[in-house]
Amino acid sequence: MSDSHRNINNMQYATEQTKPDAILHLGDHIDDAYELQRRWPSIMVYMVKGNCDFQSLAESELLLTFEGVIIYMTHGHICGVKSGFDALVKRARQQGATLALFGHTHKAIIRQANGLWLMNPGQIGRHGNGCTASYGLVTIENGSFDCNIIILPHYTPGTLD
């Protein structure tokens, strides 16, 4: 999930629908990721800070490995993803990743760049910019992975309780 911008209701809906083994929050209102961690203590929550997470002590990038799949995660602003993906691809490759997850643009995409998969799950929070609320689902099995974008069937405005 990325760019939640304090919409915990959409994040809760996504978590209830997918029942994930882990949640990866790609920044912008990282406090929302902490709230998910509080609500679902049995689910591991990984997070990076975004450009709106000024006071956060979280890292700007993380490298995770699940069943042999190496995932590079960042919000994207440090790689300038609004101007292109070259810096993101370079950084992810330097880390040995096979999948790079990022946010920041609020636009969901899945694409391949010379053997490296890129996925931006879009914005889970939606805040009046014309983009649909969505999240990503990465399924990993036996060292292989599949990426999907899930569009929320509804938009529920809501902030932290």
Give the 3-state secondary structure of residue 65: strand
Q: How far is CA 107 from CA 14, 63, 120, 152, in A?
A: 17, 22, 7, 14
26 pLDDT exceeds 90?
A: yes
Task: Give the integer Cα–Cα distance in Å for 28 and 52.
Answer: 5
Task: Give the integer Cα–Cα distance in Å for 50 and 27.
Answer: 4
Phi-psi region of 114 (alpha: psi -120 to 50; beta: other; left: phi over 0): left
Domains of the chain in sequence order: 8-151 (3.60.21.10)
Kindly report, residue by residue over 59-105, the tens digit of the pLDDT.
Answer: 999 999 999 999 999 999 999 999 999 999 999 999 999 999 999 99
Q: Is the Cβ–Cβ distance between 59 and 35 less than 8 Å?
A: no
Kindly report, residue by residue over 139-157, the tens digit of the pLDDT.
Answer: 999 999 999 999 987 655 5
Q: Using the structure block, give the residue that is written with the tokens 């809760």.
A: 12
Q: Cα-flanking dihedrals φ and ψ of residue 67, to 5°?
A: 50, 40
Residue 115: per-residue pLDDT:
87
The mean pLDDT value for 45-63 works out to: 93
What's the whole-number average pLDDT of the chain? Answer: 91
Q: Is residue 46 within a helix (H) or strand (E), and if so which, with residue range? A: strand 44-47
Q: Is the Cβ–Cβ distance between 119 and 109 less than 8 Å?
A: yes
Q: What would the two tokens of residue 124 be?
A: 């889970």
| Residue 43 identity | I
Task: Give the integer Cα–Cα distance in Å for 116 and 80.
Answer: 18
Residue 154: per-residue pLDDT:
66
pTM of structure? 0.91
DSSP conformational letter for 142: T
